[in-house]
């Protein structure tokens, strides 16, 4: 009771101080808003305001008592003390001083005597868990009581933050350097998504420049993005763009489904060089150019055109190369005009001098008549040539000539033409078999998911026409509006699902390769063939990436994880499954029913589960062929295929027809996903076949 009262007193002081700071920031924002020069400062103030505003729930959640007597309170956002030279009242969980809260152990106390987890509800302290770090207690988990209490809470269908209960191996990944690709392997329930999102918040806090570049979070589906939607705002982060690979291209949408066979073919890395070769073949061939300017024709010979093309094209997309060539052509034409004018004037001068010579032979020089006539200077000055070049550059007829000789390419039309021409595919993608080419060319019009990375590649090769950039106030809005936006960091969740061409999409958006990818290679369901991370990223990252692993399963109970060994073996896994650290005390159950009784049995089973887990969530996972019928009789619960359920969790899962799931493409991987969605109870229905 004394600890509760102590923390309640501190929370009251922190809440009051937060209110003062919010009022100060609000007043400063009102002043800054009237001065256009203060826009950058206004964005910084707004960021501080939003972080503090959203930190109302979880303003404090932890405390560190140092061996030297120092006491630090941790919270979702930092709270400054009233005195400018005083230590913060509450330190931000991302600050370096907060790290021992997640990493100190009895064996390595890191200068700490005690770690305290503070549970709150709004402005009320509801619980305190003390963990001595003096060796008297040597638990496996940091804040085990708080962690297990959080894991035992009902699921609401929305992901929550875990800043109060992060564990050491999670924290090490969250705070890892961001200078290169980091790929995190983690089985079910290891907190991969939690780690990825908290890493975003940490990086934005630690590397302020990322807030100006934005961070891209790629998820596997819109449902998944909706699931995580509240996490980053709750952590105080707003400079984040969330998307799927299907939605990365502004103004482009998937309009049709596709077969797994077609998706696998078009996901291969071979398309990158194939598309590069095809787009390069569309460049104009050097030849003599005959241009008209002010009624006269001027010729640029083929060798000069070839040199101009050679200097304009390398390292540039088609739009930039075309602009560079056009600038050279304007200069070449200006030089040709100047040279022709000089030649004409020289001819005129020579004729005039001969006429004067004849005249001189018959006339004796008199007063005021010089011995020789003045020369006519036909040379244009540099300023006159530059003025001429500018006039040529602004001339509509010259622009039309360039358009006709080097047409502006459209990425969509270019890709569609390529994909539906068997001869072009044979020429530029010789690795494809005749049957594979036939499959690709026979696909209907419209964009399928695997077309989006190809379209992105073509758009990158062709480039962007010159257009005004978005002037949106928030960096995330500006980033979303531009296909070629360069992000400061990219986080990929469920990264095992990405094809090689989708990995190319990721790298294009972050050329510095500051990438965090999290996933479980054993849960891969996509049509691609890779079964290891090395195979997945070889075409884009080569060997230059760092591996990390999450080894502890926090979500899925031991009773359920014990079922996964044979399934992983059938899936061909090369990884050791994560170690479950909690037990629900509920043994997974199975019921066998007649084929015609599956729907009724599912309705009864779901009703039982919802009754046992009031306030929580129940989910149903089934083979794709059964989803429609089950959805019709279970309208109030999610009924999903194994791929659709990936990344989600419920208090209880009803798994229907495990054999049917295993029989689907990569079905054993899918069954592994289906088994591991629950936090408490797993039920299974099986019918006779």
- How many residues are present in the chain? 689
422 is in an annotated binding site: no
**What is the distance between the alpha carbons of residues 136 and 129, in angstroms, rounded to a whole number?**
15
Contact 183, 545 (CB under 8 A): yes
Roughly what angle, to the nearest 10 degrees, separates helices 500-509 and 533-541?
50
Phi and psi angles of residue 652, each rounded to the nearest 5 degrees, phi first: -135, 145
Both tokens of 135, joined, read: 């060796």
Residue 385, SS3 per DSSP: helix
**What is the distance between the alpha carbons of residues 144 and 163, in angstroms, rounded to a whole number?**
14
Both tokens of 615, joined, read: 């306030």
Beta bridge partners, 129, equal: 117
**What is the distance between the alpha carbons of residues 581 and 110, in angstroms, rounded to a whole number?**
25
Both tokens of 91, joined, read: 């330190």
94-217-649 Cα angle (round to 5): 85
**What is the distance between the alpha carbons of residues 637 and 659, in angstroms, rounded to a whole number?**
22
250 is in an annotated binding site: no
Cβ atoms < 10 Å from Cβ of 390 = 12
Cβ atoms < 10 Å from Cβ of 412 = 15
Both tokens of 619, joined, read: 């989910």
Max CA distance (Å), the chain: 130
The gap between the terminal CA atoms of the chain, to the nearest Å, is 60
Q: Are strands 678-687 and 62-66 parallel, antiparallel or unpaired?
A: unpaired
**What is the distance between the alpha carbons of residues 540 and 501, in angstroms, rounded to a whole number?**
9
Contact 637, 669 (CB under 8 A): no
Element (H, E) at 601: helix 598-612
CA dist 448 to 187, 252, 270, 680, Å? 30, 11, 18, 38
**Residue whose entry in the numeric block shows the structure tokens 């695997």:** 450
189 is in an annotated binding site: yes
**What is the distance between the alpha carbons of residues 131 and 114, in angstroms, rounded to a whole number?**
6
How far does Cα 518 stand from its chain's mean position?
Answer: 12
Residue in 626, 622, 632, 675 with CA at minimum distance from that of residue 652: 675
Contact 514, 215 (CB under 8 A): no
For residues 475-495, one letter each, b for 16 or more C-beta atoms within 10 angstroms of the residue's C-beta and e for the rest, the string is bbebbbeebebebbbbbbbbb
Both tokens of 14, joined, read: 């922190």
Residue in 247, 239, 199 with CA at minimum distance from that of residue 220: 247
Element (H, E) at 120: strand 112-121
187 is in an annotated binding site: yes
**What is the distance between the alpha carbons of residues 570 and 577, in angstroms, rounded to a whole number?**
13
Binding site feature residues for ATP: 186-193
Binding site feature residues: 186-193
């Amino acid at each position: 009771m004394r600890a509760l009262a102590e923390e309640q007193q501190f929370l009251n002081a922190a809440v009051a101080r937060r209110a003062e700071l919010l009022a100060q920031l609000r007043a400063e924002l009102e002043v800054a808003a009237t001065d256009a020069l203060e826009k950058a400062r206004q964005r910084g103030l707004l960021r501080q305001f939003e972080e503090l505003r959203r930190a109302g729930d979880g303003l404090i959640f932890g405390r560190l008592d140092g061996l030297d007597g120092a006491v630090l309170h941790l919270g979702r956002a930092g709270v400054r003390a009233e005195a400018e030279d005083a230590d913060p009242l509450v330190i931000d969980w991302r600050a370096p001083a907060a790290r021992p809260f997640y990493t100190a152990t009895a064996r390595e106390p890191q200068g700490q005597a005690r770690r305290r987890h503070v549970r709150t509800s709004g402005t009320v302290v509801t619980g305190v868990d003390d963990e001595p770090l003096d060796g008297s207690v040597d638990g496996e988990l940091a804040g085990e009581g708080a962690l297990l209490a959080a894991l035992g809470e009902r699921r609401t269908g929305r992901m929550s933050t875990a800043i109060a209960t992060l564990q050491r191996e999670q924290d090490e990944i969250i705070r890892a350097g961001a200078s290169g690709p980091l790929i995190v392997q983690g089985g079910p329930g290891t907190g991969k998504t939690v780690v990825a999102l908290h890493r975003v918040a940490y990086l934005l806090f630690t590397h302020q420049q990322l807030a100006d570049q934005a961070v891209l979070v790629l998820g596997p589906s819109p449902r998944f993005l909706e699931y995580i939607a509240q996490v980053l705002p709750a952590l105080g982060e707003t400079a984040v763009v969330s998307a799927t690979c299907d939605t990365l291209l502004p103004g482009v949408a998937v309009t049709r489904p596709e077969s797994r066979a077609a998706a696998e073919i078009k996901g291969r890395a071979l398309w990158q060089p194939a598309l590069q070769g095809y787009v390069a073949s569309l460049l104009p061939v050097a030849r003599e150019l005959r241009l008209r300017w002010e009624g006269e024709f001027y010729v640029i010979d083929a060798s000069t055109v070839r040199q101009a093309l050679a200097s304009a094209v390398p390292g540039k997309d088609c739009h930039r190369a075309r602009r560079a060539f056009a600038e050279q052509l304007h200069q070449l034409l200006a030089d040709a005009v100047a040279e022709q004018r000089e030649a004409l004037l020289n001819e005129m001068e020579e004729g005039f001098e001969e006429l004067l010579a004849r005249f001189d032979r018959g006339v004796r020089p008199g007063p005021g008549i010089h011995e020789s006539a003045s020369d006519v200077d036909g040379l244009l000055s540099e300023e006159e040539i530059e003025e001429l070049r500018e006039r040529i550059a602004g001339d509509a007829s010259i622009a039309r000539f360039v358009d006709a000789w080097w047409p502006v390419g459209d990425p969509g039309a270019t890709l569609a033409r390529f994909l539906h021409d068997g001869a072009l595919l044979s020429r530029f993608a010789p690795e494809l078999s005749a049957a594979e080419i036939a499959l690709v060319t026979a696909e209907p019009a419209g964009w399928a998911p695997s077309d989006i990375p190809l379209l992105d590649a073509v758009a990158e090769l062709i480039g962007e026409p010159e257009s005004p950039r978005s002037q949106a106030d928030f960096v995330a809005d500006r980033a979303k509006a531009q296909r070629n936006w360069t992000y400061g960091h990219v986080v990929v969740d469920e990264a095992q699902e990405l094809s090689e061409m989708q990995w190319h999409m990721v790298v294009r958006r972050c050329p510095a390769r500051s990438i965090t990818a999290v996933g479980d290679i054993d849960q891969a369901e996509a049509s691609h063939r890779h079964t290891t991370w090395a195979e997945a990223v070889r075409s884009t990252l080569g060997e230059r990436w760092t591996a990390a692993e999450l080894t502890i399963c926090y979500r899925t109970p031991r009773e359920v994880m014990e079922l996964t060994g044979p399934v992983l073996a059938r899936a061909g896994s090369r990884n050791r499954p994560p170690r479950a650290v909690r037990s629900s005390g509920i043994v997974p159950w199975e019921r066998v029913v007649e084929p015609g009784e599956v729907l009724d049995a599912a309705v009864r089973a779901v009703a039982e589960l919802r009754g046992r887990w009031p306030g929580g969530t129940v989910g149903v996972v089934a083979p794709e062929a059964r989803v429609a019928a089950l959805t019709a009789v279970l309208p109030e619960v999610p009924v999903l295929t194994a791929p659709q359920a990936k990344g989600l969790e419920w208090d209880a899962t009803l798994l229907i027809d495990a054999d049917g799931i295993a029989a689907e493409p990569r079905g054993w991987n899918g069954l592994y996903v289906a088994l591991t969605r629950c936090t408490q109870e797993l039920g299974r229905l099986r019918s006779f076949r």
